[in-house]
Amino acid sequence: MVKKLMVVALAVLLMSMTKGDGVMTKENGVYVVNTATLAKDVRGYRGTTPLKIYIKKNKIQKVEALKNHETPDYFEEVEAVMFPMWVGLPVKKALQTKVDGVTGATMSSNAVRENVKRGLEYYQKHK
């Protein structure tokens, strides 16, 4: 019985020493949510569209695209048009905001919206 308790205690200790799941980090008061694993099932036109969402004092500071395989010209327009729409919004309001997509890049736009949604919901749950 003592041996089993020691094994459980060691397991708990090791789990507490891990850095987390890698989805969210915090540095200098800024939370960074990486949707690469969080939304790995969300696909745009040519694949996943992972993002990093920067949040400080519960407001979105920046949305940044990570490496993806979307058509560059269309995705650059998605970045230019959609990303700024979330900047400056409190997380709760950003989750309620309906951001229009980019004509001709519907699948990429939908994927970006879903990535942002999942990232912000994760932030709310784990901050």
pLDDT score of 3: 67
In this predicted model, what pLDDT tens digit does every residue of 67-99 receive, in sequence order?
999 999 999 999 999 999 999 999 999 999 999
Share of the chain above pLDDT 90, in %: 82
Does residue 49 carry a pLDDT above 50?
A: yes
In this predicted model, what pLDDT tens digit does every residue of 17-33 receive, in sequence order?
445 678 999 999 999 99
Closest by Cα among 124, 125, 52 to 91: 124
Helices marked H in the chain — which ranges? 2-17, 35-38, 72-86, 91-96, 106-126
Does residue 10 carry a pLDDT above 90?
A: no
